Amino acid sequence: MSNLLYLSILAPWVLAALLMALPKSLPERLFKILGLIGFGIPAILGAIIFCEYARANTGSFLFLSEIDTGLSTYGISLKLGVNGISAPLVLLAGIVGIAAGITAVTSVAERMRTYLVLLLVMQGGLMGIFVTYDIFYIYFFHEIALIPAFIMIAIWGGPNKRPAAMEMTIYLTLGAMLSLVGLVGIYASSGVGSFDLISLSNYLSENSIQSAMQESLFGLLMFGLGILVSLFPFHSWAPRGYSAAPTSVSMLHAGVLKKFGLYALIQVGLPLLGEGSFAWSTALMWLALGNIIIIGLVTMAQKHLKDMISYGSVMHMGYAFLGIASLNAIGVSGAVFLMVAHGLSIALLFNLSVLIQNRTRTFYMDEMGGLGKDAPILAGFLIAAMMASVGLPGFANFWGEFTIFLGLWEVSPLVLALALLGIIISAIYGLRAVKAIAFGDRTEAYDKIKDEFPVKDINWVERSPGILLLLALLILGLMPRMAGDGINLAVTQHILAGEAYEQIEASLTAQPADILLQDTTQTTETHEH
């Protein structure tokens, strides 16, 4: 199985190199076929890795292997393996990758060969993030995946692509640098001399970093990784970037790459900096509520479909942060499950947005209307995707949000009550969009478009990304234990298994549920060893 982990990274990069080596004079059809192979291999491998891990029924890292990259003197080597948290995200990266690849080859992008090469490089980086347990390489693969996104937005993006790419570059470079300082700080403070996550976890479980240092390092990770995940108020880059980006890039970045920040905070920050997480939990909760309520209200005001989807993506990241800030097993497990569900649903919405724009020749919802009569299958996909995003039972998003709410109830009913407002906000903007696009009265602008361009429903090629993504949402929604069991085991046995978490659990049992809304200094003093 360990060979499959290597292959999931190398396959997209090998196909990218092959595309670059081929003469430009060859038919574009050949480039598209090779591109699809490059996305298809990681998708198949991701499904195999996930199923094999689920069958093992454990939360520990499995399928371990190591390659010495010449940096072993500094404690750096390419160590591959997956645990209950990373295995579902490997599956997510594979499914969204093939959906984005199909979207790319059916687009009208110029310089298709270069477009696919950059997208394949991005895909290889995404797979690498989740199949390694060396902290240095987790960060390294993120940077590899991020660079093509900047380039593709600047070259193939829509209106305001250059300012959007520049803003995105500034924000994400700042977030990446803060995160890197935090990760290097863990390496230096631990004294282990290794970036190996397993070795660090085992050592620090008995020899924890000094409390003050933990608080500083977790703060660096929270804000650095928070910027990468569009944590309020460091979110403005995301809606502009996603709206300007080519659809395939929006699908990969919002669906998968943005999960890096949450993943690193859970996989690295929580188990290694237990006391530091308590010091920042209250602040993280209030910032997350800013995502849900403030950005949610901004989402409601959007008339541009892609802008609405982009802001909605930022809003729903607040739920995942709340799950992490709950610092209990059910909340953190719910955050991981929501990461997978959100990645699938947001990729589906971005895919559908361009299919709708191709038929209405606009992204403005007040210029659409009645698309359900002319393209009922497309309208059906839109309704299903929007219901999944809102958290309708039967879709994977429901279980992620529901378990986060249960985790919040154990911590603070007040925060839970405020977070529940997000369900109402999501329902309002989601149902309003469905009505305006699929069931609204035909507008004059839409009638003019129909006169010039006959509106046809989506064909089987256009449906295929939606079928893959929607099927995954339904399977995980109807059988959540497929991913949930491994996530729960990993969180309880490894992520929240330290002495600091045992103390907070005992405190929550003995004290009122609003403990995490008390003064941060008081909370920190309560849980010091």
Q: What is the pLDDT along the chain (529 residues), one digit of tens a residue?
A: 778 999 999 999 999 999 999 988 888 899 999 999 999 999 999 999 999 999 998 888 998 888 877 777 677 888 999 999 999 999 999 999 999 999 999 988 888 999 999 999 999 999 999 999 999 999 999 999 999 998 999 999 888 888 888 888 899 999 999 999 999 999 898 888 888 899 898 888 888 888 899 999 999 999 999 999 999 998 888 888 898 899 999 999 999 999 999 999 999 999 998 888 899 999 999 999 999 999 999 999 999 999 999 999 999 999 999 999 999 999 999 999 999 999 999 999 999 999 998 888 888 888 887 788 888 999 999 999 999 999 999 999 999 999 999 999 988 899 999 999 999 999 999 999 999 898 867 666 666 766 667 778 888 999 999 999 999 999 999 999 999 899 999 999 888 876 666 665 565 555 444 444 444 333 334 333 3
> Coil, strand or helix: which one is 67?
strand
Burial 402-415 (b: 16+ CB within 10 A, else e): bbbbbbbbbbbeeb
Residue among 74, 96, 91, 180 at smallest CA distance from 131: 91
Residue whose entry in the numeric block shows the structure tokens 């640098």: 177
Report residue 270 as tokens. Answer: 């929580």
Residue type, 398: F
Query: Which residues are CB-neighbours of 256 under 8 A, at least 6 positions away?
Result: 89, 92, 93, 96, 97, 126, 343, 347
CA distance 179 to 226: 9
CB 236 within 8 A of CB 167: yes
CA distance 322 to 416: 9
**Confidence (pTM):** 0.91
The residue segments making up the domain with residue 267 are 2-526
Q: In total, how many domains does the chain have?
A: 1
Q: For the chain, how many residues are written?
A: 529
